[in-house]
């Protein structure tokens, strides 16, 4: 089956739907028209730029270039994790916790998959390494940001309860045990929902893309199962690491709750 090539005119027709949605946002007073248009423009520009980068990267396939792009993706994901939290940690901790947890989870899962499961030659072949890492980072980023946002927000709301538990002789780990478990659970809910609906309610993006590109459906299914399992593992490990690091930061070495290490929510206009 030959893949159908999209023309700029085809993409412009799809863009008209975004314009229509933005036009409807104004009379409904949703206030989303500017954000919709900017997000669509940003998406188009970013994807076109990464397309040119990947074209060059696929041609040279150098380990240093692949590592440089992977590092850039990790740093941007770390910034997004921090930006999605209402009460991020102050200083470099809000950025560092996200980057560290994603590096430990997404990168380790990606390298294991490339070297043991898929096994391209060389193992860092950009055609496999970059899309795989991108999917792992994107989904792990969502789980970590949700978990940390719940952790820091609820720690502030439940400060009286946490301090009461500490006053009764509990350690920081014991006092925050319920909060820690709930934060991890919330971080895993999106990917668990996606797994439950895959193939029944929706066809996942990677599988759909492969089928549209002409790949045999069963081959696309095998890759999608692999990716879903990898994303779930990466999100789970990353969320656990982020929450563990976040709890350590919320309390000092004397098991005192340190809410001064959280930044206050930005005032909305």
Rounded CA-CA distance 89/264 in Å is 9
Last residue of a domain, one of 11, 29, 60: 60
Does residue 202 sit in helix, strand or coil?
A: strand
Number of Cβ within 10 Å of residue 43's Cβ equals 11
Question: End-to-end CA distance of the chain, in Å?
Answer: 53
pLDDT in tens, the chain (269 residues): 556 778 888 889 999 999 999 999 888 888 888 999 999 999 999 999 988 988 888 888 888 989 999 999 999 999 999 988 988 998 889 899 999 999 999 999 999 999 999 988 889 998 899 989 998 999 899 999 999 999 999 999 999 999 999 999 999 989 999 999 999 999 999 999 888 888 777 777 777 777 777 778 888 888 888 888 999 999 999 999 999 999 999 998 888 999 888 888 754 43
Count: domains in the chain = 2
Rounded CA-CA distance 45/99 in Å is 25
Does residue 262 sit in helix, strand or coil?
A: strand
Q: Is residue 137 within 8 Å of 99, Cβ to Cβ?
A: no
Residues 8 and 121 in one domain: no
Does residue 269 lie within any of the structural domains?
Answer: no
Whether omega before 122 lies within 30 degrees of 0, making that bond cis, reads yes
Residues 105 and 178 in one domain: yes
**Which residue from 62, 14, 83 is spatially nearest to 263, judged by alpha carbons?**
83
The boundaries of the domain holding residue 93 are 63-261
Rounded CA-CA distance 89/232 in Å is 26
Rounded CA-CA distance 232/78 in Å is 19
Give me 52's structure tokens.
């040119």
Residues 144 and 34 in one domain: no
Residues 2 and 85 in one domain: no
Helix, strand, coil percentages for the chain (3-state, nearest 5): 75, 0, 20
């Amino acid at each position: 089956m030959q893949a159908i090539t999209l023309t700029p005119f085809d993409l412009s027709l799809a863009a008209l739907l975004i314009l229509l949605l933005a036009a409807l946002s104004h009379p409904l007073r949703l206030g989303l028209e500017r954000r919709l248009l900017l997000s669509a423009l940003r998406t188009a520009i970013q994807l076109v730029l990464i397309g040119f980068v990947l074209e060059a990267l696929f041609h040279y396939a150098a380990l240093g270039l692949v590592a440089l792009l992977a590092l850039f993706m990790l740093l941007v994901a770390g910034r997004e994790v921090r930006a999605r939290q209402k009460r991020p940690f102050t200083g470099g901790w809000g950025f560092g916790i996200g980057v560290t947890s994603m590096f430990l989870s997404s990168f380790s899962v990606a390298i294991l998959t490339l070297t043991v499961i898929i096994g391209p030659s060389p193992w860092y072949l950009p055609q496999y390494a970059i899309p795989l890492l991108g999917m792992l980072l994107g989904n792990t980023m969502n789980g970590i940001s949700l978990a940390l946002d719940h952790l820091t927000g609820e720690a502030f709301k439940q400060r009286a309860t946490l301090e009461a538990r500490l006053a009764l002789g509990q350690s920081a780990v014991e006092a925050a045990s319920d909060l820690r478990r709930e934060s991890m659970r919330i971080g895993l809910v999106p990917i668990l929902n996606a797994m439950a609906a895959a193939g029944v309610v929706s066809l996942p993006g990677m599988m759909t893309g492969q089928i549209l590109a002409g790949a045999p459906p069963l081959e696309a299914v095998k890759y999608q199962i692999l990716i879903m399992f990898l994303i779930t593992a990466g999100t789970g490990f990353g969320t656990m690491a982020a929450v563990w690091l976040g709890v350590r930061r919320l309390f000092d070495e004397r098991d005192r709750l340190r809410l001064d290490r959280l930044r206050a929510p930005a005032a909305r206009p």
